[in-house]
Amino acid sequence: MNRRFRAVLAAGVILAATASASASAAFTVPPDHVGEIVGMAWDEETARLWLAGEEADDGTLIGLTEDGEQAQLTWNADIASVEALALSGGALFVGDLGNPDLDRDTLTIFRFGDTQPGRKQYRAYVLEYPDGPRDAQAMMVSGRGRIYIATTGDDPGIYRAPENPSRTSTDTLTRVADAPEGVTDGVFLDDGSTLVLRAADGVHVIDAFSWETEAVETYVNGPEGESVAAMGDTLLFSAGGVVREAEVPTSDTTTTLEPVASPEPSPEPSTPVPTGAEGTPSPAPTAGPAAPTGATPRNTGTLVALVVAGVVAIAAGATTYFVKG
């Protein structure tokens, strides 16, 4: 993890807890308006951790920089239930996937061409499952930009979007593998083809070429509903506003986690969030993403409990807003 960002994460220590025999400490939660984190994505280029929280369904994502500044990315669209974030090739993907009542025939993926804060243009891909409506909380994008969805509920599976998804019609996903039970999020590692899924029983590391499971880290007393992001060789997990750090497992293992208590809510920031004019999605891309390449196991290490820094002020002028055209 970036050293400066580590310092920001540790900026407001209010409690400590152990996650295993080798665990360290826990810190404060993100700002209150983030709420429960349903999706995370780490942007190495800008050293910003993007979070999808309670405002995501209203078209707002929160970014925390390595300097402790808070930024917002907003867009205007019909959104049902954001459940996941992913970054690939400098583009940020938002997965409008949630369908617990199975009353949606399609799902939508929003793609932003960059991660600069402000009001954004987007490309929207509308997808459907080949076997009827399904619920999902996990969207992953390979190193070459290929979109994958892992469903939950009955007969969970991993589905792949077409290489060049349409911007004018509904595309049909292809089921490529079975998924473990209770997948709540997933992420591709830096090699672009090693997939990590956070499932009900723990962490599954999967080769996205062969779809063979390479390692499973089984959790005892693990938090429910965790999101996951990759920061180089490190995984970040979040549930209920608490973020922790862990190594990527390379062999089957079992880890006992001790729950971390949630801190008291912090006050809402006083700075209002500007709104932009309503617009239309940007034109369709001229070149579609390709399939992932290269699969390499990741290094392992000890599990570390970590939580993102507390409320930070939005620096004046730090956010530039773009009207969606």
**pLDDT tens digits, 43-73:** 999 889 999 999 999 999 999 876 767 899 9
Number of domains in the chain: 1
How much is the pLDDT for 233? 85
Of the two residues 236 and 4, the one the predictor is more confident about is 236
In a domain, 79, yes or no: yes
In a domain, 199, yes or no: yes
User: pLDDT over 90 for what percent of the chain?
Assistant: 58
In a domain, 297, yes or no: no
> Which element (helix H / strand E) includes 202?
strand 202-207
Closest CA to 257 of 267, 268, 245: 245
In a domain, 8, yes or no: no
In a domain, 303, yes or no: no
Whole-structure pTM over 0.85, yes or no? no
In a domain, 232, yes or no: yes
Which CATH number covers residue 155? 2.120.10.30
Of the two residues 71 and 270, the one the predictor is more confident about is 71
Name the band, by pLDDT with cuts 50, 70 and 90, for residue 80: very high
CA distances to 59, 101, 181 from 92, rounded to whole Å, are: 14, 27, 27
In a domain, 307, yes or no: no
In a domain, 253, yes or no: no
Q: Is the pLDDT of residue 211 over 70?
A: yes
Token pair for residue 207? 């080769």
Structural domain including 222 reads: 38-241
Per-residue pLDDT, averaged over 208-219, amounts to: 97
